[in-house]
Amino acid sequence: MSWIEGAKRRAARAAAAHVQKGSVVGLGSGSTTLHFIQIIGSHLKSGKLSDILGIPTSHQAAAEAIKVGIPLTSLDEHPKLDITIDGADQIDRNLDAIKGGGGALLREKVLASASKKFILIADSRKLTTRLGESCPLPIEVLPFAIKPVLDRIRNLGAKAKIRVGSGKLGPVVTDNGNFIIDAEFGAIDDPWSLQRKLKALTGVLETGLFLGLTDIVYIGTQDSVKDLRRPRKEDH
């Protein structure tokens, strides 16, 4: 196992310690979260955990959960989750993040917003001082509105393009039937302001800016795990 995969595994193991018997757990998407899903599956198999229900953010996460024996449920049955564990494309020191490289950002943000606790896991390459540096911002867009939205995002100063698939012709289609625009803004000075501007564009369904949602970040390194936590209100 490479140091990167080892780092992902260590971060996933730290997050898995937060999952308790009887929890409803949001299952994020991506390579790091696959480690988490596998760990939870092994805990169920060994009897270390029981009575867990998972809500996946993508077909990929659902398939892996079924493979390792995690029973699945839905937001219709459990509109409030105990915890969601997910990966990220980029994380800053405020615990804000860019997500959506795997195309599941809308469902990921829905689960993050519906969870009592939201934990991000990543390897140390994902830490940054400023969101957007060398990392495009994914934006999920209604296909009917793709061209006017693309033009408006470019007018906001981004180099933007519709994400296209490898091994298929045409745009990537999300699990929700929408398209993704990848917008390169460079280092983002005011993520909250950019979020408001993008969400105001008719046809934009969600952005990959995850702001003010994360409670804990576990960062795997070559030989350890860093624990970053959002300060309590009384700490400000």
Catalytic site residues?
A: 108
Element (H, E) at 134: none
Contacts by 162-167 with C-beta closer than 8 Å and gap 24+? 163/103, 163/138
Tell me which DSSP letter residue 125 carries: G
24 and 74 Cβ atoms separated by less than 8 Å: no
Residue 72 bridge partners (DSSP)? 54
Angle between helices 31-46 and 59-68 (to 10 degrees): 30
Strands 81-86 and 24-27: parallel
